Amino acid sequence: MNPQIEFKHVLGELSVNRNDPCEVVRELISNSYDAKAKSIIYAPLKEESGFLFFDDGTGLSTKELTNGITPYEAFFSIGKSTKKKGESIGYKCQGSKLCFACNRILVITRSECDSQWLFKVVENPRQNLSINYDISPENTDSPWVELASFLSTLSAKTQNTLDFFDESFFQSRFQSGTLIVIQELDTENFEKHFLFEDDFISSYLSNYVRFYTRHGDVRVITKEQGFSPNHVLQVAKPIETAELAFIVNGQEMRIQGGFPYLAASSSDTEVKSPSQISRLRDGRFMARSAKTFNVSGSKFSIVATVDGNRRAHEEYTTLDRKGTARSGVRLVDQRGFFVAVNGIKICRFMDIFYNTELSDYSVLADGESPGHFSIIVNGDFDLVTNRNSLSRKAFDILSSPAFLSEIRKFFDDFKRNSAVFSELISRLKKESTENKLNEQISILDASKKAIKLRERFRISSSESNELYLSPQPGEEYLVGVLYAKLATIVPSGSPFSEFWKKVLTFSTQGIDSVGMRDKSSTSPLVESNLISIEYKYNFTDSGPFNHALAIVDYIVAWTVNLPDSCKIKDEYTCFGEVNKISEGVWNISNIENEGGGCYDDRLVVVISLKQLIESTFNARFSTP
């Protein structure tokens, strides 16, 4: 019996392809639920830098073929699974490969139809597992002996754990199921993520299990959490959770099942609604809604829990918040809009509010708005290989008109039926408008104050002494305005008048301006007399020019830094040679493209506007 692996290097990649170190536990819990387990147990092995994981599910049969493979073989194989899409999250049979990022692994299993237990030890699985590696298991009547042999060097804590998994445990609780023991797990900060002391409720792993695994199923909602009987009936009726426990000092400590939505608040009259409080961030208000809907034959559910920012901070006591470290799982990562697959919360998806269908609720994505709610939509969404994010197919569903229409209906009903949600939307819109206005006022005030410190210049004539400001980086538009304005007051007979062209248009797309080559022409608007002008704050040879050299006539930049005879490239495969004509003026000639095409009649004039102003008007620049 051999594992079925198409490419050996894939195993190495999958076994370390993790977004979070505890993904391995997430995947094992998913497998346990898929195996219909009623009991799941996790025990850390500190000195071994590993853990022991047990479930009493159907076990890994070596006899029953599904999809051409047995469950036992599928556990050690890549791309082979006994599961089907839509029935379980692990249908790709890739998540369990995270177990192989270790030095040693022991697998003990027993199917309902087996009279004995099967076991297999694999040393250095990432290197040794291949299509030539024999994974055939051995039979045993005393798996507790095999477990003790695998953990041969025992510390006091490990012995305490081993005493729990003694003969009586196997005989009374392991009639079927799977026990996996991992040593020397290749992971980041093992102690932080996989261990816990007596206060296991505040540990990273216990919170991770509630917020990110199948045991924390987002569809498990209750009346005690503030949901109506109809909400519960629609969303939660078919959901069952297994008993999941951590072994702490030799004792089972149970982790509650279901996603940790906050319990309903009391009927305290001091809890004010969003419209009543002076600062929205101090809100302790609460609202709930949930619904199941169908789109194109597929079933989805959505659960919305509104808990004011202050309430969330006070009642999620184990979650980290700004400046305060607790379990290591952050409160901010649990607030907002999320996508879940088969009950498992996968990723945040605030982009849904940027669709026009949800424009009335786009304020929910602004600033601190997500701090007041958690909204989770669940469905059989397709995931990428490591199952930490959505596939392109899933994004297509989330952005489809039919799906967004259902989300819109849900929000509309929630707003109509819940005064708290309705007031929250109104308050957020009001504050968003005020914040945006205040932001614009602040920007304008800052600009006015900064103007006094900017570089300026004066142009004197017999009639006036005009003050102008020099452009700053990003103010290409001002470069064009100055060029167009000053072109109208060039002194008669100036030797530089040929470089000042009359500007006819300004555009924010394509070529910046169209101007006249000869403003004294008797046919000024004929095509042969029209030129294209591009404006830049600074023009150099350090990167490609963002317009085609083959169609630009003039490049006017506030400052120009071009070594003589350097090359200029554009983003359209063209390039040309730079030659300095006079102070502040250059030509780009000999323009051709990478394919060998030549533009012999093309000549691009490059002008440093600052130098041209100095030369033409004898202007003096100064800075306060």
Could you say which of 146, 167, 195 is where a domain stops? 195
Tell me if 486 is assigned to some domain.
yes
Q: Collapsing DSSP states into helix, strand and coil, what is residue 320?
A: strand
Q: How far is 376 from 335, CA to CA, in rounded Å?
A: 10
How far apart, in whole angstroms, are the C-alpha atoms of residue 129 and residue 101? 12
Distance in angstroms (rounded) separating the CA atoms of residues 336 and 334: 7
CA–CA gap between residue 432 and residue 437 (Å, rounded)? 8
Regarding predicted confidence, which is higher, 306 or 323? 306
Same domain, 424 and 277: yes
Task: Evaluate whether 578 touches 606 at the Cβ level (below 8 Å).
Answer: yes
Checking if the pLDDT of 84 tops 60, the result is no
- Looking at the fold, whether 375 and 487 belong to one and the same domain comes out as no
Closest C-alpha to 69, from 5, 134, 119, 138: 5
Cα separation, 619 vs 461, in Å, equals 11
Looking at residue 236, its pLDDT comes to 86
Both tokens of residue 514? 């169209």
Strand partners, 42: 53, 246
Of 408, 437, 466, at which residue does a domain stop?
437
Across 486-510, average pLDDT: 92
Residues 33 and 170 in one domain: yes
Residue 241 domain-assigned? no
Do 467 and 432 share a structural domain?
no
Q: Quick one: 185 and 309 in the same domain? A: no
In a domain, 122, yes or no: yes
Residue 516: how many other CB atoms lie within 10 Å: 17
Sole residue written with tokens 């206060």: 199
| DSSP H or E segment with residue 476 | helix 476-486
Which helix (H) or strand (E) is 11 found in, with range? helix 8-16
| Whole-number Å distance between alpha carbons of 151 and 158 | 8
User: What's the number of domains the chain is made of?
Assistant: 3
The two tokens of residue 460 are 């004197």
- Of 223, 250, 255, the residue nearest 236 (C-alpha): 223
Residues 433 and 462 in one domain: no
Tokens encoding 462: 């017999």
pLDDT of 18 above 70: no
311 vs 462 pLDDT, higher one? 311
**This prediction's pTM:** 0.72
Provide the Cα torsion 483, 488, 491, 492; round to 10°.
Answer: 130
Residue 571: pLDDT above 80? yes
Residue with the bigger pLDDT between 464 and 489: it is: 489
**Three-class secondary structure of residue 249 per DSSP:** coil
Find the CATH number of the domain harbouring 174.
3.30.565
- Per DSSP, 471 falls in state P
| pLDDT per position as a tens digit, 338-368 | 999 999 999 999 999 999 999 999 999 998 9
Q: Give me the phi and psi of 458, to 5 degrees please.
A: -120, 145
pLDDT at 559 over 70: yes
CA dihedral 527, 530, 532, 537 (to 10 degrees): -170
Number of alpha carbons in the 13 Å side-chain half-sphere of residue 221: 27
In this structure, the answer to whether residues 292 and 405 fall within a common structural domain is yes
Q: What's the whole-number average pLDDT of the chain?
A: 90
Examine residue 207 and state whether it is found in any structural domain, yes or no: no
Helices (H), 58-216: 71-76, 125-128, 143-150, 156-164, 167-173, 190-194, 204-212
Angle separating helix axes 476-486 and 609-617, nearest 10 degrees? 30
Poorest-pLDDT segment among 60-74, 158-172, 586-600 = 60-74
Check whether residue 429 and residue 566 sit in a common domain: no
403's tokens: 């799906």
pLDDT of residue 91: 37
Residue 432 has pLDDT above 70, yes or no: yes
- 234 belongs to a structural domain: no
* 33 and 159 housed in the same domain: yes
Which among 107, 244, 110 is positioned nearest to 174, based on CA atoms? Answer: 110
End residue of a domain, out of 195, 212, 243: 195
> What does each C-alpha distance from 307 to 223, 256, 273, 301, 407 come to in angstroms?
16, 21, 11, 20, 20
Q: Is the pLDDT of residue 620 over 80?
A: yes
Contact, 155 vs 46, CB < 8 A?
yes
Q: Report in angstroms the alpha-carbon separations of 303 from 51, 207, 378, 437, 501.
A: 34, 20, 8, 33, 63
Same domain, 72 and 170: yes
- Residue 367 sits at φ, ψ, to 5 deg, of 45, -120
Name the pairing type of β-strands 373-379 and 336-341: parallel
CATH of the domain at 341: 3.30.230
pLDDT at 166 over 70: yes
For residues 52 and 185, state if they share a domain.
yes
pLDDT digits (tens, 9 = 90+) for 365-420: 998 999 999 999 999 999 886 667 888 999 999 999 999 999 999 999 999 999 99
- Amino acid 80: pLDDT: 54
Token reading at 58 = 């159907």
Q: Tens digits of per-residue pLDDT, 241-286? A: 999 999 998 899 999 999 999 999 765 557 889 999 999 999 999 9
For residue 6, name the pLDDT band (cuts at 50, 70, 90). very low
In-domain check, residue 218: no
Q: Is residue 228 part of a domain?
A: no
Strands (E), 447-570: 456-460, 465-469, 502-503, 513-516, 530-540, 554-561, 567-569
CA dihedral (98, 100, 101, 102) positive or negative: positive
Predicted local confidence at residue 497, as pLDDT: 93
**Range of 38's domain?**
8-195
Helix (H) or strand (E) holding 621: strand 620-622
Enumerate the β-bridge partners of residue 419: none
Per-residue pLDDT at 221: 97
In a domain, 252, yes or no: no
Q: Looking at the structure, do residues 429 and 476 belong to the same domain, yes or no?
A: no
